Structure formats: C-alpha cells, structure tokens
Amino acid sequence: MGTYDIFFTKQAKKDIQLFDNKEKNKLKKILIETISKNPFIGKKLIGDLAGNYSYRFNLKDRLIYSIDKEKNCIYIKRARTHYGE
C-alpha cells in the first residue's frame, strides 16, 4: 500500500492556523509519517461522525478525517478539540 494524498477542508485549515509552530510541526510529522501511510490507524467513529476516523493529536485535540480508498486520498475535516472548547 502506498501513501495517501492529504487534503484539508476550510474548517481544518482554520483549526490549524490556531496552533503554534511546535504543534504545527507535530501535526505535519503525524500526517506524513503515520496517517498518510496507514490512515486506518485512527479510531473509526460512529453516530453523527460515522464514516470518519479520529486520531489523537495531543491531550485535547484530535484529527477528524475521512478516507477515499478509490482516490487514495485523506480529507482532514477538523484538527481541534471536539469537546466544545
């Protein structure tokens, strides 16, 4: 299995802008070294977010993303907490 291309929604881009440089670098490393190589490593979500995956990024933030197996793409939808903070 090759690596997946990664795309960001407008909301994910807004989320990422709120990170400091250290968090942005950590996110970049996770996306390149982990998620793009094996997107199924994330937790499969249920309920309102069914069809998406979650990957813990730090203590309070998670990546929420979907996978298009046919196009070999990952769509990052959120990159901040989903706990209403």
The pLDDT value given to residue 60: 85
Fold of the CATH domain 5-78: YaeB-like fold (3.30.2310)
Per-residue pLDDT tens listing for the chain (85 residues): 578 999 999 999 999 999 999 999 999 999 999 999 999 999 999 999 999 999 998 888 899 999 999 999 999 999 987 555 4
Task: Say which residues have a Cβ less than 8 Å from residue 46's Cβ, sequence separation at least 6.
Answer: none
Residue 75 · residue 68 · CB < 8 Å: yes
The pLDDT value given to residue 82: 57
Residue 68 · residue 5 · CB < 8 Å: no
Q: Counting beta carbons within 10 angstroms of the beta carbon of residue 30, is it exposed (0 to 12), middle (13 to 18) or buried (19 or more)?
A: middle
R_g over Cα of the chain:
12
The pLDDT value given to residue 42: 95
Q: Is 62 helix (H, G, I), strand (E, B) or coil?
A: strand
The domain locations on the chain are 5-78
